[in-house]
Amino acid sequence: MKLDYIYHSGFAIELENTTIIIDYFKDSSDTAYNHGIVHDYLLKKSGKLYVLSTHSHPDHFNPEILEWKKLHEDIVYIFSSDIRDNHKAKANDAIFLNKGEEYKDSTIKIHACGSTDIGISFMIDIANCRIFHAGDLNNWHWSEESTLEEIEKANLEFLNELENIYKYTKQVDIAMFPVDNRMGKNYYKGAQQFVEKIKTSIFVPMHFDSTYKAANDFEAIAEKNGCRFLEIQHRGEIFEINK
């Protein structure tokens, strides 16, 4: 299995005859429009292609992905229902999931977990591997700007969603989770709470734009909690995953 970092919260999971692209926003090239690992490689691969979007925010959902069905004949779109409800896609464009719902076929199972923002997060089971993509699930607080009441409210909402995930599964093989230093002090709090609650074999930071150092500074906390940490250095980086 390969895990490809596209950009921001965008990743691809590559297996022998299957590819999964999650939360595509921009391709991996930072100089050429619609060039990079997706357009130059993944969309040309044979096999089944699953395209997933956790919600309609433009840094997680680019409507151009609906044009990919012209480029790849075996494609399945699985979106959060808010993308349809916010008129970013039509009812027949995709399979739409609400929190608690699932999509399943002979290759993959996708369970829609909750979020502390709009949309959902994804729990993906494929090839005996359980993979979590958080979308915008996080303990979203701004320590220097938010009131104590706002911080506590954000914390309680996140812990509630985390408990729901724990009831579904107590461990994951791979977790892609926001480590976004725009929140300021304690920007890693949600990620820390996640790995302390859910046994995570491999932790992958996301939602950090180009602040690689701040995202990778979470490595020590991840490893303290028994995770292998994937340090991302650039867009389009490919990691070999061996369970």
Q: Please tell me the predicted confidence (pLDDT) of residue 141.
A: 87
CATH number, domain at 18?
3.60.15.10
pLDDT tens, position by position, 25-77: 999 999 999 999 999 999 999 999 999 999 999 999 999 999 999 999 899 99
Q: Please tell me the predicted confidence (pLDDT) of residue 144.
A: 79
pLDDT band at residue 2 under the 50/70/90 scheme: very high
Q: Please compute the mean of the pLDDT values over residues 185-207 and round it to a whole number.
A: 97
Q: Please tell me the predicted confidence (pLDDT) of residue 205.
A: 98
With tokens 């220097």, the residue in question is 144
Tokens of 229: 């940490």
**Residues forming beta bridges with residue 129, ordered by sequence position:** 126
Tokens of 88: 């970013």
Query: What's the total number of domains in the chain?
Result: 1
The pTM assigned to this predicted structure is: 0.97
Among 207, 235, 212, smallest CA distance to 40 is for 235
* Long-range contacts, 195-199 (Cβ 8 Å, 24+): 195/221, 195/222, 195/225, 195/226, 195/227, 196/225, 197/162, 197/163, 197/165, 197/166, 198/132, 198/162, 198/165, 198/166, 198/169, 198/170, 198/171, 198/172, 199/170, 199/171, 199/172, 199/226
Q: Provide the CA 24 distance to its chain's centre, in angstroms.
A: 10
pLDDT tens, position by position, 150-180: 999 999 999 999 999 999 999 999 999 999 9
Task: Tell me the pLDDT of the chain averaged across its residues.
Answer: 96
Predicted confidence (pLDDT) at residue 243 exceeds the cutoff of 70? no
With tokens 């490689």, the residue in question is 41
Instruction: List the domain range (segments joined by +) for residue 137.
Output: 2-240
Question: What string of DSSP letters covers 66-91?
Answer: GGGGGT-SSEEEEEEHHHHHTTSS-T
Predicted confidence (pLDDT) at residue 9 exceeds the cutoff of 80? yes
Q: Please tell me the predicted confidence (pLDDT) of residue 242.
A: 85
Q: Is 209 exposed, middle or buried (0-12, 13-18, 19+ CB in 10 A)?
A: middle
pLDDT band at residue 194 under the 50/70/90 scheme: very high
